[in-house]
């Protein structure tokens, strides 16, 4: 599968709109996309970009239906249900489907190097008025190789087009990409890198789940149910999807940073970069690979909910749920890191209680997990009758099952992200307080509230006759 197959699948499911009206790369594409995503509208393929022949694709993940299409699952699954299927296929599966190396692929249809390298050949969008420039990708997969272990890392970063041959890459401190880069700095060498723009959407998902002995391509093939194909990029020798739309090959000098940003983050705010651009690593593009008539895949951000927030919510839901399963925490019914919380800051877990204190144990486990330890500000636990991504029912539980004095615990100090706009701008401490909210009916209560429930027999009868009512 590649990006084009996914686009066709969206079209068949009536989840794609082809925009033939001419649009400008400067703000117009991003603004049309943002308004469409906020309305849960279709993915968009802009086929007429002013001054360019290359189309731009946006909104890949903006609905749960498109997430299910991407995973090859029934289209009516919720975010929780799709994340659970991902977890089962990758973590609880008996064997992985190893990826296959090929010698040729569509991405090699055009190989441009030397003076032919010009990033201006693509309709790179500018997303928001205060952005520092045009971003060739806000969800770009950058392939790196650890010079000591030989292991390949596929990280997701934003990349600002600085000029026709250079891109700023936001490799944040503490991330694996930075640790690899420091090794090259110690060796006194530049770091080979390959940036993938447009490929099987599962590649982005695969980069979030760690599986010992498996590459991101192995994970992709396992979820897809067939071998993923990759080839070695001719300049860097790094593995890239054979069906990728665009690949930028080059080097990153670990000792030469340039100002990059600002950029409208997934929180809906700018960071301190708005006042003072922060130097970032730079990809010196030495070679461009692209398919014939390539499609530029663009993902905007800004305030929730956009396709990026759906992507973040899905991947963090899947990793958090996986970690809770690996921790042998009993009674987990469903998990959701809410897209409305920018896909990071609030988690909801539905639990089937088996003993007093069970729901608090679950909340503690969330904070103790790798996913939950970074950025999470709040955890809400609800009973098993409520799906974790059903916000209407979650707020019902907070209103009618939750007592603030009984059900609230505060944690004063936890690891935060530098992108959190709620952090004190006059402090360099990347820590946040956290709240645990137990919205479960206490297990030990002998007399529990009696819920007003509908009659099961009547419900079955009504569902069987639903078409007769003409309600729709």
Q: Are 147 and 187 in contact (CB under 8 A)?
A: yes
Distances (CA, A) of 278 to 132, 139, 172, 179: 11, 19, 11, 19
pLDDT in tens, 343-383: 999 999 999 999 999 999 999 999 999 999 999 999 999 99
pLDDT digits (tens, 9 = 90+) for 293-352: 999 999 888 899 998 999 899 989 999 999 999 999 999 999 999 999 999 999 999 999
- The DSSP secondary structure of 10-42, one letter per residue, reads HHHTT-EEEE-S-B-TBTHHHHHHHHHHHTT--
The tens digit of pLDDT for each residue in 383-398 reads: 999 999 999 999 999 9
DSSP code string of 34-78: HHHHHTT--EEEE--BTT-S--EEE-TTSSHHHHHHHHT--TT--
Residue with tokens 């079209």: 11
pLDDT band, residue 94 (cuts 50/70/90) = low
Q: Is 447 exposed, middle or buried (0-12, 13-18, 19+ CB in 10 A)?
A: exposed
**HEC profile of 425-452:** CCCCCCEEEEEEEECCCCCCCCCCCCCC
Spell out the residues 6+ positions from residue 358 whose beta carbon is closer than 8 angstroms to its own.
330, 331, 351, 443
Element housing 413 (H / E): strand 408-415
Contact 311, 300 (CB under 8 A): no
What is the C-alpha separation between 155 and 175, in angstroms, rounded? 9
In angstroms and rounded to an integer, the radius of gyration of the C-alpha atoms of the chain is 23
Q: Write the DSSP symbol of residue 421.
A: T
Backbone angles phi, psi at 11, to 5 degrees: -65, -45
Region 231-260: what's the mean pLDDT? 97
pLDDT of residue 104: 97
Q: What average pLDDT score do residues 175-195 get?
A: 96
**Cβ burial 41-61 (10 Å sphere, 16+ → b, else e):** bbbbbbbebeebebbbbbbbb
Q: What whole-number distance in Å separates Cα of residue 232 and Cα of residue 217?
A: 13
Instruction: Please give the helix or strand (H or E) that residue 404 lies within, else none.
Output: helix 404-407
Cα→Cα distances 116→121, 232, 289, 402, Å: 10, 21, 11, 63
pLDDT tens digit string along 425-435? 888 888 999 99
Q: What does the angle CA 187 – CA 189 – CA 192 come to, to the nearest 5 degrees? A: 125
Task: Tell me the pTM.
Answer: 0.91
Q: For residue 211, is pLDDT > 60?
A: no
Distance CA 143, CA 203 (A): 11
pLDDT value of residue 97: 86
So what's the pLDDT on residue 399?
97
Q: Cα dist. 423→66, 303, 367 in Å?
A: 34, 17, 19
| Range name among 188-192, 203-207, 327-331, 333-337 with the lowest pLDDT average | 203-207
Q: How far apart are CA 233 and CA 238, in angstroms?
A: 5
Percent of the chain with pLDDT over 90: 80
The pLDDT, as a whole number, for residue 119 is 98
Which residue(s) pair with 282 in the sheet? 168
């Amino acid at each position: 599968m590649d990006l084009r197959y996914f686009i066709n699948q969206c079209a068949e499911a009536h989840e794609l709109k082809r925009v033939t009206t001419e649009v400008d790369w400067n703000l117009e594409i991003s603004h049309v996309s943002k308004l469409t995503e906020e309305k849960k509208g279709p993915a968009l393929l802009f086929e007429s970009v002013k001054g360019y022949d290359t189309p731009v694709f946006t909104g890949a993940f903006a609905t749960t239906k498109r997430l299910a299409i991407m995973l090859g699952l029934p289209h009516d699954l919720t975010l929780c249900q799709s994340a659970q299927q991902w977890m089962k296929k990758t973590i609880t599966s008996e064997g992985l489907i190893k990826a296959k190396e090929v010698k040729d692929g569509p991405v090699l249809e055009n190989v441009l190097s030397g003076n032919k390298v010009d990033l201006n050949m693509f309709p790179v969008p500018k997303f928001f008025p205060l952005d520092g420039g045009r971003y060739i990708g806000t969800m770009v997969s950058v392939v790196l190789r650890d010079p000591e272990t030989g292991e390949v890392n596929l990280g997701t970063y934003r990349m600002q087009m600085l000029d026709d041959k250079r891109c700023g890459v936001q490799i944040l401190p503490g991330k694996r990409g930075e640790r690899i880069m420091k090794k090259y700095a110690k060796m006194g060498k530049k770091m080979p890198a390959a940036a993938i723009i447009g490929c099987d959407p599962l590649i982005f998902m695969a980069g979030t789940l760690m599986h010992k002995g498996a590459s991101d391509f192995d994970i992709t093939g396992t979820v897809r149910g067939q071998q993923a194909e990759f080839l070695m990029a001719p300049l860097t020798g790094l593995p890239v999807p054979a069906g990728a739309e665009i690949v930028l090959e080059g080097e990153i000098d670990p000792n030469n940073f340039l100002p990059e940003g600002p950029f409208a983050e997934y929180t809906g705010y700018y960071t301190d970069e708005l006042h003072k651009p922060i130097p970032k690593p730079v990809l010196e593009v030495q070679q461009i690979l692209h398919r014939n008539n390539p499609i530029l895949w663009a993902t905007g951000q800004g305030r929730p909910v956009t396709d990026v927030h759906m992507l973040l919510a899905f991947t963090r839901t899947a990793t958090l749920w996986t970690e809770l399963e690996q921790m042998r925490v009993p009674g987990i019914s469903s998990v959701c890191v809410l897209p409305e919380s920018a896909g990071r800051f609030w988690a909801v877990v539905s639990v089937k209680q088996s003993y007093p204190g069970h729901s608090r144990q679950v909340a503690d486990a969330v904070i103790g997990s790798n996913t939950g330890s970074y950025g999470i500000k709040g955890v809400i636990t609800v009973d098993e009758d409520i799906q974790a991504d059903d916000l209407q029912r979650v707020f019902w539980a907070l209103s009618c099952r939750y007592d603030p004095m009984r059900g609230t615990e505060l944690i004063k100090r936890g690891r935060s992200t530098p992108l959190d706009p709620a952090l004190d701008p006059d402090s360099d401490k990347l820590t946040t307080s956290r709240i645990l909210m137990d919205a479960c009916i206490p297990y030990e209560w002998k007399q529990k509230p009696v819920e007003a429930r509908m009659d099961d027999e009547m419900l079955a009868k009504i569902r069987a006759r639903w078409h007769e009512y003409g309600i729709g």
